[in-house]
Amino acid sequence: MSATDNPFGQVLVALVTPMTIDGEVDWPAVERLMDDVIVGGADGIVVSGTTGETSTLTDSEKLELVRVGKRVAGGRAKIITGGPSNETAHAIQLAQQSAEAGADAVMAVTPYYNKPTQSGVLTHFRMIADATDLPMILYDIPGRTGIPITYDTIVRAAQHPNILAIKDAKGDLTEVSRVLNDTNLIYFAGDDANALPLMSIGATGLIGVTANIAPHAYRTIVDAVNGGDLTAATAAHQSLEPLVRATMTHVPGTVSTKYILHGLGRIPSPRVRLPLVGPEDAEAAVIEDDVARVRGIEGLDLSNFRPDRNAAAGGALPRIAGTTR
């Protein structure tokens, strides 16, 4: 599939959802962060995905994130709704409501916890894809969902006219190559560390967590790959390694990313909703140590990084619980 056929972009940010100390969505901070990553080079934003704490957002919050994203982006970036649910009926409802709210695309994760057969997985995806005219990204992350999307299921799903892409957090480069050979799917790296490795074998781009902090560096990688400059792409990839380690290896990526963004003064609070909690002292120490090892990331100034362990401690209960409907 050519770049002109890609309705999503290449540098997509799996956006965190900034919150107040009380665990309510901080809408002004959401707007600032959205604008920040777009200015930094993102051409797509995934809202209310795993990183956005979809499991503890209400449906009304998820839809408002789409509306706010469209307003802030103003045509500069695509707004993709994440999740949407492990219940097919609910996923269909959210996809339709997101389309009405202005979403440019849907990203649908493998049904988690229920652990359906591959026939059930395929039916789930097809019914969501049938529910709107929006292009859809499959999200394959067996470490969170308990089951993979198998090769055969991916190939069958790819025959649906609205299923155009897959976010791969499985990390099987052999399977990625096989699917790229056998389908026209657009591939996005779903593990930050694998952005360049997957692009080197034909993936289109990434849907990244660390891109909340350093979107410009991922823009550099993507543009370098597009231009055939592996040296520049590799240099940016290597400079990102300690930051990726800081965000993705010690605590959930949402927690570490908010901790770092708050330390940089880019969001007012690092608060997450329970059952997520901020890093404990030992966890915060290794995050801070990794950040201290970061050198030479273009567009990222860490000289004023001031992490606040006390502000990040614990988690919050919002006023309204996230509900199935």
pLDDT of residue 189: 98
pLDDT of residue 324: 52
Distance CA 101, CA 108 (A): 17
Domains of the chain and any CATH numbers: 7-229 (3.20.20.70)
* Structure-token match 């500069």, residue found: 76
Binding site as annotated, residues = 51, 207
Binding site as annotated, residues for pyruvate = 51, 207
Q: How far is CA 312 from CA 211, 222, 255, 284, in A?
A: 20, 33, 9, 10
Q: How far is CA 212 from CA 2, 38, 42, 217, 238, in A?
A: 27, 10, 9, 11, 18
Task: Select which of 62, 113, 115, 139 is catalytic.
Answer: 139
pLDDT of residue 5: 86
167 catalytic per annotation: yes
Task: Select which of 78, 167, 170, 258 is catalytic.
Answer: 167
pLDDT of residue 2: 44
Distance CA 27, CA 154 (A): 36
Q: Is 9 exposed, middle or buried (0-12, 13-18, 19+ CB in 10 A)?
A: buried
DSSP secondary structure letter of residue 112: P
Tens-digit pLDDT profile for residues 23-40: 999 999 999 999 999 999
pLDDT of residue 3: 46
pLDDT of residue 83: 77
Tens-digit pLDDT profile for residues 264-296: 999 999 999 999 999 999 999 999 999 999 999
Distance CA 185, CA 197 (A): 17
Helix (H, G, I), strand (E, B) or coil at 137: strand
Strand segments, DSSP code E, in the chain are: 11-14, 44-47, 78-81, 105-109, 136-140, 163-168, 186-189, 205-208
pLDDT of residue 84: 77
pLDDT of residue 1: 43
Up-side HSE of residue 181: CA atoms within 13 Å toward CB? 8
Instruction: State which residues of the chain have pLDDT below 70.
Output: 1-4, 323-325
